[in-house]
Amino acid sequence: MNGKDLIRKLEETYPKSYAEPWDNPGLQAGRSEKEIRKVYIALDANEEAIEGAIAKGADLLLTHHPLLMSGIKRVAEEDLAGHRLIRLIANDVTSYAMHTNYDIVTMAPLASEILGLTDAEILAETGSDPQTGESIGFGRIGKLPAKMTLEACAKLVKEKFGLETVKIWGSPETLVERAAISPGSGKSMIADALAKKAQVLISGDFGHHEGLDAADQGLCIIDAGHYGLEHIFIEHMAGYFQEHFPEIQVEKAPLHHPFQVI
* β-strand partners of 198: none
CA 67 to chain centre: 14
Nearest to 11 by CA among 29, 32, 30: 32
For 68, phi then psi, to 5°, come to -120, 125
Tabulate helix, strand, coil % of the chain (nearest 5).
35, 25, 35
Give kind and range of the element (H or E) at residue 210. helix 208-216
Handedness of CA 180, 176, 168, 44 (dihedral sign): negative
Which ranges of 24-75 does DSSP label H, i.e. alpha helix?
A: 47-55
Q: Report how far residue 183's alpha carbon sits from residue 90's, in angstroms, rounded to the nearest whole number.
A: 33
Q: Report how far residue 15's alpha carbon sits from residue 49's, in angstroms, rounded to the nearest whole number.
A: 24
Q: Report how far residue 241's alpha carbon sits from residue 179's, in angstroms, rounded to the nearest whole number.
A: 31
Position 123, amino acid: L
**pLDDT tens sequence for the chain (262 residues):** 999 999 999 999 999 999 999 999 999 999 999 999 999 999 999 999 999 999 999 999 999 999 999 989 999 999 999 999 999 999 999 999 999 999 999 999 999 999 999 999 999 999 999 888 999 999 999 999 999 999 999 999 999 999 999 999 999 999 999 999 999 999 999 999 999 999 999 999 999 999 999 999 999 999 999 999 999 999 999 999 999 999 999 999 999 888 888 8
Position 95, amino acid: S
pTM for this model (two decimals): 0.96
- Predicted local confidence at residue 259, as pLDDT: 86
Cβ-contact 190, 206 below 8 angstroms: no
**CA-to-CA dists, residue 194 to 73, 77, 210, 253, angstroms:** 42, 46, 13, 36
- Predicted local confidence at residue 245, as pLDDT: 98
Give kind and range of the element (H or E) at residue 94. strand 94-97
